[in-house]
């Protein structure tokens, strides 16, 4: 049934905080029900509150602090990014069943596009804030350091920041750490908070939709921003055997390429995306026909969905696998998007379920691609997830069931 | 697998870019921090493109182009960068616009160029390079992470030459803020250290060529936060594991300061070899290890005037920042 996988990496835990739920089981429930997390802005302080719907995680920072189980004294200078990340990492650790001793030697690879920007933008040049605490939490690397300090993770830690594909590249770096014997266990994922900086940024680019986004629909008119955190526990075969861990599935293939076309726009022929998908398939030792579901990047912008659709046609021809954009439910969580969608892809695979999207009426004329609109039980062996970002950054991950034969 | 640095290029406060040989003279301190001595970018970047570019992007693109030319390469097999704070000029510009215009009528250019991977993306765009392109941002081990990723890729199939770089820029505003915190290590007195900036790029390859500058003998990262005993004991253990042959080095280039415990520990471990404090020449910034590596390659190549003693053959580079992580890099003449 499955092709030979070249060098798969075991996945033993997943954790997520998203606009559609505070953990993997509520998120999965929302995903199969097509229950959206996009709505009116509740927590972000912005003049655009009534204008743009967003996918907000439904908690204030105080509420996230308690959900993360962090003592208030230690929580004083934590950003929204760190709070969301800690919740997701804790869930992933619990599912993997890592003990405190095992956790101590783990590596942590995080990803973010703006990190502590939500705090920076509140404090910077604001006469009401005299504290310079935000200078400490502004760097992208702050979240990884804080997660490690709070949870007692003492291994190598780093952060990828490649805009909206960051989370996928974090998993790729983690996989190389395992393949090269540098780490046996890596907690990898990504996080991004909603903030005025990115909301205004995407508004200045005129690609925010004032309605709910409609990925891959002919009437699509832009994206809705989102936020959240997603983390996975990746392990070597040796680690899985030594502690008798249960393997959920495997990271079988990955690739990062560059579109080399424009700083923020995708090329008309989707070259970068085409190369990312093709090379990821090659790295997994799979044929396009073996992919059972694609979690597309699918932001809902004119440019992305056309370019990605063309790239998908180039890879899969007439036999495009069932696909959907879960951003129709979560919004676009930027540096966290690929990590959220990695967790969703694992959920789709392990539950043998095609995830539906909402907001679809008519296909894009040029590609004629029709996404999954109702949850469907089906046998899945391999799931592909796309994530693309500014700077022409294109990443593809492939997740496979454990029963794929090892070379 | 043996790896080699086959080209290097830096833009730094030392004015390293357009001179055949460089002179180890401390840069001008008039501003209270070091700024890069920037080359005439029109030699490497199209004038039309230059207008929109921040210093961060200009240093990165120009450094990359120069580095590739030195290696005689048109395109690398991957572009990997590290930056601690990313595109500060564009980030601050967009924050200010947002504040001043109450979130309306904002110019998108600064936002588009504010993501940390802008430099690596712009390099790819300029070269038409569709290969892997990623950026790390982990404070003072951002460049180290990039180098580690490149090393891991070169252990795999199909990769030969990877462009790796470290970039950070300083602005009057960012310096004003950071210097008021302990995010940046500053020293006054006999061995003053101030803030700095720069970009340094390298071609790391698994092939030795006639252009090879030195062999790369590895990188290790120490996490001081993990210390379960005293700092000196745990650092000592880490050092002995990473450098079992410590007494063979003939130069130690360090980012630590004589007031640091680790400075004396390193000096002892390396048998009191010559110590060069590289931050005297580039200042303190997150990706300053990339400057130190470039300096090591220049010293090995005998291209530094006024360098103390003879050309070193085996160089150990140590760096640390305000956080708990330290790094060690080893390079050897070949």
Element at A400 (helix H, strand E): strand A393-400
Give the per-residue pLDDT at A403: 65
**Cα–Cα distance between B220 and B225 in angstroms, integer?**
15
B244 and B126 both lie in a single domain: no
Residue range of the domain that includes B231: 214-332
Give the per-residue pLDDT at A5: 63
B13 and B72 both lie in a single domain: yes
- Per-residue pLDDT for A31 more than 60? yes
B191 and B308 both lie in a single domain: no
- Per-residue pLDDT for B258 more than 90? yes
B183 and B228 both lie in a single domain: no
Reported for A182-185, long-range contacts at CB under 8 A and 24+ positions apart, including other chains, are: A182/A107, A182/A156, A182/B148, A182/B152, A183/A106, A183/A107, A183/A155, A183/A156, A184/A105, A184/A235, A184/A236, A184/A238, A184/A239, A185/A98, A185/A102, A185/A105, A185/A106, A185/A107, A185/A233, A185/A234, A185/A235, A185/A236, A185/A239
- Per-residue pLDDT for B323 more than 60? yes
B191 and B281 both lie in a single domain: no
- Taking all residues of chain B, what is their mean pLDDT, rounded to a whole number? 94
Does A48 participate in catalysis according to the annotation? no
Give the per-residue pLDDT at A407: 34
B167 and B236 both lie in a single domain: no
- Per-residue pLDDT for B226 more than 90? no
- Per-residue pLDDT for A20 more than 60? yes
Give the per-residue pLDDT at B67: 97
**Cα–Cα distance between B234 and B223 in angstroms, integer?**
10
- Assign domain A252-400 to its CATH superfamily: Thiolase/Chalcone synthase (3.40.47.10)
- Per-residue pLDDT for B228 more than 90? no
**Assigned architecture for domain A9-243:** 3-Layer(aba) Sandwich (3.40)
Give the per-residue pLDDT at B227: 67
B277 and B313 both lie in a single domain: yes
Contact A149 B225 (CB under 8 A): yes
How much of chain A exceeds pLDDT 90, in percent? 93
Q: What is the mean pLDDT of residues A80-107?
A: 97
Radius of gyration (C-alpha) of chain A in whole angstroms:
20
Q: What is the pLDDT of residues A266-297, one digit of tens each?
A: 999 999 999 999 999 999 999 999 999 999 99
- Per-residue pLDDT for A3 more than 50? no
**ipTM (interface predicted TM):** 0.97
B129 touches chain A (CB under 8 A): yes
Q: Answer yes or no: are the C-beta atoms of A294 and A282 closer than 8 Å.
A: no
Question: Which domain-ending residue is among B205, B238, B260?
Answer: B205
Confidence of residue A34 (pLDDT cuts 50, 70, 90): very high
Q: What is the mean pLDDT of residues B80-86?
A: 98
- Number of structural domains (chain B) is 2
> Which of B79, B95, B130 comes nearest A272 by C-beta?
B130
B243 and B288 both lie in a single domain: yes
B133 and B184 both lie in a single domain: yes
Catalytic option among A27, A123, A148, A164:
A164
B73 and B190 both lie in a single domain: yes
Question: Which domain-ending residue is among B171, B205, B239?
Answer: B205
Q: What is the pLDDT of residues B269-309, one digit of tens each?
A: 988 778 999 999 999 999 999 999 999 999 999 999 877 66
> Which of B84, B112, B153 comes nearest A263 by C-beta?
B112
B196 and B270 both lie in a single domain: no
> Which of B99, B117, B177 comes nearest A135 by C-beta?
B177
Contacts of A161 in chain B (CB under 8 A): 86, 115-117, 135-137
CATH number of the domain where residue B14 is located: 3.40.47.10
Q: What is the pLDDT of residues A329-344, one digit of tens each?
A: 999 999 999 999 999 9
- Per-residue pLDDT for A2 more than 60? no
Catalytic option among A43, A59, A138, A297:
A297
Q: What is the mean pLDDT of residues A164-180?
A: 97
Nearest CA to B203 among B292, B293, B122? B293
Question: Which domain-ending residue is among B173, B205, B237?
Answer: B205
Contacts of A190 in chain B (CB under 8 A): none
Contact A158 B111 (CB under 8 A): no
Does A297 participate in catalysis according to the annotation? yes
Alpha-carbon distance A138 to nearest alpha carbon in chain B (angstroms) = 8
Task: Give the count of Cβ contacts less than 8 A between chain A and B.
Answer: 186
Q: What is the mean pLDDT of residues B200-217?
A: 98
Q: In chain A, which segments carry CATH 3.40.47.10?
A: 9-243, 252-400
Contacts of B152 in chain A (CB under 8 A): 176-177, 179-180, 182
């Amino acid at each position: 049934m499955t092709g030979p996988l070249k060098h798969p990496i075991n996945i033993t835990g997943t954790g997520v905080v998203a606009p559609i739920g505070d953990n993997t089981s509520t998120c999965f429930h929302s995903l199969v029900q097509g229950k959206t997390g996009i709505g009116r802005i509740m927590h972000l302080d912005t003049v655009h509150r009534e204008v743009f719907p967003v996918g907000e995680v439904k908690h204030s920072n105080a509420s996230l602090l308690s959900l993360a189980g962090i003592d208030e004294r230690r929580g004083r200078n934590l950003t929204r990014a760190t709070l969301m990340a800690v919740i997701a990492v804790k869930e992933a650790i619990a599912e993997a069943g890592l003990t405190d001793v095992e956790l101590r030697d783990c590596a942590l690879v995080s990803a973010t596009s703006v990190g502590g920007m939500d705090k920076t933008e509140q404090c910077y040049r604001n006469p009401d804030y005299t504290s310079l605490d935000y200078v400490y939490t502004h760097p992208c690397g702050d979240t990884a350091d804080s997660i490690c300090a709070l949870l007692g993770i003492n291994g190598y830690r780093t952060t990828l920041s490649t805009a909206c594909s960051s989370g996928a590249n974090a998993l790729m770096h983690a996989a190389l750490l395992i393949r090269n014997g540098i780490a046996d266990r890596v907690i990898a994922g990504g996080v991004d908070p909603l903030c005025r900086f990115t909301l205004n940024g995407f508004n200045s680019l005129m690609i925010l939709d004032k309605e709910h986004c409609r990925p891959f629909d002919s009437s699509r008119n832009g994206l809705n921003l989102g936020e959240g955190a997603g983390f996975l526990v990746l392990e070597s075969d040796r680690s899985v055997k030594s502690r008798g861990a249960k393997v959920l599935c495997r990271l079988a293939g990955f690739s990062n390429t560059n579109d080399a076309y424009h700083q923020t726009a995708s090329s008309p022929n989707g070259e970068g995306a085409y190369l990312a998908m093709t090379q990821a398939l090659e790295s997994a030792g799979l044929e396009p026909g073996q992919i059972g579901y694609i979690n597309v990047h699918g932001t809902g912008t004119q440019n992305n969905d056309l370019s990605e659709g063309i790239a998908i046609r180039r890879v899969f021809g007439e036999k495009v696998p069932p696909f959907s954009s879960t951003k129709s439910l979560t919004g676009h969580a930027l540096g966290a998007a690929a990590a959220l969608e990695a967790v969703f892809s694992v959920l789709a695979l392990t539950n043998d379920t095609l995830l539906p999207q909402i907001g679809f009426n008519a296909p894009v004329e040029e590609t004629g691609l029709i996404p999954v609109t109702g949850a469907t039980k089906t046998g899945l062996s391999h799931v592909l997830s796309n994530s693309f970002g500014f700077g022409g950054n294109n990443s593809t991950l492939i997740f496979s069931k454990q029963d794929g034969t090892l070379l | 697998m043996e790896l080699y640095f086959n080209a290097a290029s830096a833009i730094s406060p030392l004015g390293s870019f357009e001179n055949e040989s460089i002179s180890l003279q401390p840069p001008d301190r008039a501003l209270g921090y070091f700024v890069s001595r920037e080359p005439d970018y029109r030699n490497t970047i199209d004038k039309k493109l230059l207008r929109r570019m921040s210093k961060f992007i200009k240093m990165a693109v120009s450094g990359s182009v120069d580095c590739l030319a030195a290696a005689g390469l048109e395109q690398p097999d991957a572009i990997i960068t590290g930056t601690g704070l990313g595109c500060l000029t564009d980030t601050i510009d967009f924050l200010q616009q947002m504040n001043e215009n109450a979130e309306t009528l904002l110019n998108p250019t600064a936002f588009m160029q504010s993501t940390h991977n802008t430099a690596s993306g712009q390099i790819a765009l300029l070269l038409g390079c569709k290969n892997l392109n990623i950026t790390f941002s982990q404070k003072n081990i951002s460049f180290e992470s990039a180098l580690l990723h490149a090393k891991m890729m070169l252990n795999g199939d199909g990769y030969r030459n990877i462009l790796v770089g470290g970039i950070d820029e300083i602005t009057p505003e960012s310096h004003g803020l950071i210097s008021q915190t302990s995010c940046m290590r500053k020293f006054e007195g006999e061995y003053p250290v101030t803030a700095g900036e720069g970009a340094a790029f390298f071609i790391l390859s698994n092939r030795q060529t006639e252009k090879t500058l030195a062999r790369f003998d590895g990188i290790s990262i120490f996490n001081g936060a993990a210390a379960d005993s005293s700092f000196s004991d745990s650092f000592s253990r880490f050092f002995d594991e990473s450098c079992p042959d410590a007494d063979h080095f003939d130069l130690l280039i360090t980012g630590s300061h004589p007031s640091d415990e680790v400075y004396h520990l390193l000096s002892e471990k390396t048998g009191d070899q010559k110590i060069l404090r590289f931050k005297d020449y580039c200042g303190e910034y997150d990706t300053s290890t990339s400057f130190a590596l470039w300096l090591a390659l220049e010293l090995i190549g005998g291209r530094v005037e006024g360098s103390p003693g003879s050309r070193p053959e085996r160089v150990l580079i140590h760096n640390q920042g305000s956080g708990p992580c330290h790094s060690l890099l080893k390079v050897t003449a070949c």
